[in-house]
Amino acid sequence: MKPKKIIDLSIILYNCMPKWPTHPNFLYEQITNVPRDGATHHIIRQMNTHTGTHIDAPSHYIIGGKTVDQLPIEAFAGEGVVLDISYKKPGEAITVEDLKTYDHEIKAGDILMLHTGWDKRMGFNLEYLFEWPYLVEETAKYLVKKKVKALGVDTLSVGGWAGKVPGHGPTDITHSGGEVHRILLKSGTIIVETLANLDKVLDGSRVRRAYFIYAPISIKGAEAGPCRASALIF
């Protein structure tokens, strides 16, 4: 069956790009080129497993949880739905009430993608780096009850920023981003973060179903892995 459209849901990686504030920079360079060497090669000098669009496996927060290479390939693809919650303000929680608006659209086994529009704010600014809309524990528990297979967001994390760096102190977020991860990952829900172009899937609608693929690089023992995510529209 041929899809009508395939939409790329991944961001492009480049040197010193915006990312989780306390993670090391992504660094790569060209080491050979065709005119001089007969072939072009690049080397990745530095890369975190959570760089760019990536999945979180259970071992990210669960002791004894499965690593990326231990998960079956079927865990990284399936049918699901994109929901428009782009009305959320900077640093605002994504609540159960936000998702109950679409309760009848979320089916057991679905891959749920939340469109906040934060990918359009990507850059070295306070909103993108620290003040994205985030899930609270109650919302994560709601999704576990709905038996969601995977949860994807177009922000740096499903949880909120509660850390501290020289240029930005702690926010007033009282919910634990770590606990949100634990609730989802303990249930077997795969997390996909730093997505892009979910608005293109919606195409002007508030909700739209699609088939999603988000297979990560299979690194032995890794708790996460960068991926090239996509949505297939039939």
Query: In terms of DSSP bridges, do strands 54-56 and 224-226 run parallel, antiparallel, or are they unpaired?
Result: antiparallel
HSE-up (13 A, CA, CB side) for residue 185? 27
pLDDT of residue 126: 93
pLDDT of residue 38: 98
Closest CA to 127 of 26, 25, 21: 21
User: Which neighbouring-strand residues pair with 46?
Assistant: 27
Domain boundaries, the chain: 5-11+49-233
pLDDT of residue 165: 86
CATH class assigned to 5-11+49-233: alpha beta
User: Which neighbouring-strand residues pair with 7?
Assistant: 231
Rounded mean pLDDT for each run of 10 residues along the chain, 234 residues in total: 95 98 97 98 98 98 98 98 98 96 97 98 96 96 98 97 80 80 98 98 98 98 98 97
